[in-house]
Structure 1
Amino acid sequence: MNWDSDFALTILPELLSGLLVTLQVTFAGIAIALAVGMAVAVLRYLRIPVLSPVLGFYVLFVRGTPLLVQAYAAFFILPDYGLTLSPLLTGIIVMGVNYSAYTAEVYRAGIESVGKGQWEAATALSLPGRATWTRIVLPQAVRTIVPMQGNYLIQMFKDSAILSAITVVELLGAAQKIGSGNYRYLEPLTIAALLFLAISYPSSIAIRRLERRLAGAQ
């Protein structure tokens, strides 16, 4: 099968539409992952009876099961229990929940990297718990983990292709739809791969530069 440039140009708008969905999933999913991950990390660090072990199991379970299985379960099983969501919303939530387990561990490492003297200083100043976390601990912790969280953002962007399995027409889903409808897979899959690369490669360079800048500022 030879490359057909005219066909490639005609399918480009549909693939760009799929790319837009991929970006929506990525940014909405990472927002959920960062928020939930921070909450899980802080609550686990506080070692609250019952809650901390439950959250520990949550992290273990989510990290120990494949993302595709989680997506299938949310899309095909939850409706049997009265919880029916659109494929796109289901995909966003699944991605966010899945990555929250990973970001929680990164947050935990960042929190534990904060020096003991910082906690002692907060105690000496009689700062309330909320102020200690929001003004002293979390700003320092987040600074050290920004590069790692950025890498998860790029990974989520690429992993969003899994959601085509639950009928989300993101970039890969659009390419598969075009390929099956026209019996030509060369152009749509190639363009999809190039679009993934065009986003992820510059992003990875930006993350590395940010990492060097933060390291130099410490």
Structure 2
Amino acid sequence: MLFGISWDTSSTWAFIWSILPILARGLWVTLQATFVGFMIAAIFGLVLAALKSNRYRIIAWPARFISEFIRDTPLLVQLFFLYYVLPDYGLVLPAFLTGALALGLQYSAYTSEVYRAGIDSIPKGQIEAARALDLSPFRLFFFIIIPQAIPRIIPALGNYLVSIMKDVPVLSVVAVLELLNVAKIIGDRSFNYLIPLSLVGLIYLIMTLIAAAGIRWLDQRLPKEGVHLSHD
């Protein structure tokens, strides 16, 4: 007996082994939501960063407003809006896609600032030289600026990847069967919340440690002068 709780070791381990396959399904959904959400955040954030860096205010200002609006409203409000309001206007999305989209849009506002910081770190002389050579804005952005900005922004983007992973449990409010929601259902049916929730905490700890190690590895391997993108 520990802290007034009686433990039956054999039954505890049997319970753990019995729920691991179920938790694994929830883990797979969590990983999928993390990946899709991060891809949306990375791509849409890059688009926002490009628009906000535009020399023309008529393009830059609306992009800045959209970015601030997304960043300053709660993720849960955005999720409810996508899941409950859009169907009233004929746009019905699956719960998983709705959740991943909400995560991606929320974090796109943050990743756009990461991209902007990377863009601002590029020496202005290189940009002026590229313009003097009459490079198109597309080539300038994607073949001069972004390749040099990538090594500078990997750690910050990696931090947001981990943050998205830890925010996936929010999707349980729209019935996405991610890891935490599965653990809660197991607890509801078994009247044992301690073990499934403890396992979820342990799994999240392992995932974040692996993600952090991967980000450090990538940061060390990328050339500091920038990656090479062929434009042939």
TM-score > 0.5 by shorter chain: yes
The C-alpha deviation readout for 1:60-119, integer Å capped at 9, x for no partner, is 111111111211221122222222111101011111111111100110111111101111
Count of aligned residue pairs for this structure pair: 217
Higher normalized contact order (CA 8 Å, seq sep 6+, divided by chain length): 1
Q: Could you tell me how far 1:125 is from its partner in structure 2?
A: 2.1
Describe the SS at the equivalent of 1:127.
coil
Distance in 2 (CA, whole Å) between partners of 1:122 and 1:165 is 49
Q: Cα 1:217–1:110, aligned 2, differ >3 Å: closer, same or farther?
A: closer
- The equivalent residue for 1:120 is 128
Distance in 1 (CA, whole Å) between partners of 2:152 and 2:224 is 11
The C-alpha deviation readout for 1:177-207, integer Å capped at 9, x for no partner, is 1111221101111111111111111211332
Distance in 2 (CA, whole Å) between partners of 1:194 and 1:168 is 21
Distance in 2 (CA, whole Å) between partners of 1:181 and 1:77 is 32
Q: What is the TM-score with the length of structure 2 in the denominator?
A: 0.88
- Alignment-mate amino acid for residue 83 of structure 1: L
Max radius of gyration: which structure? 2
- The equivalent residue for 1:57 is 65
Alignment of 1:37-116 (within 5 A): 37-116=45-124
Describe the SS at the equivalent of 2:99.
helix
- Which of 179, 183, 190 pairs up with 2:191? 183
Describe the SS at the equivalent of 2:15.
helix
Distance in 2 (CA, whole Å) between partners of 1:116 and 1:45 is 13
Displaced runs of 4+ in structure 1, greater than 6 A? none
- Which of 138, 144, 149 pairs up with 1:130? 138
- Alignment-mate amino acid for residue 185 of structure 1: Y
Q: What is the Cα-based RMSD across aligned positions, in Å?
A: 1.7
- The equivalent residue for 1:9 is 17
Identity %: 43
Distance in 1 (CA, whole Å) between partners of 2:90 and 2:224 is 51
Query: Is the contact made by 2:151 and 2:224 (CA closer than 8 Å) also made in structure 1?
Result: no
Describe the SS at the equivalent of 1:99.
helix
Q: Cα 1:89–1:48, aligned 2, differ >3 Å: closer, same or farther?
A: same
Name stretches of at least 5 consecutive residues in structure 2 with no aligned partner.
226-232
Task: Answer yes or no: is 1:18 the counterpart of 2:21.
Answer: no
Q: What is the TM-score with the length of structure 1 in the denominator?
A: 0.93
Q: Could you tell me how far 1:144 is from its partner in structure 2?
A: 0.8
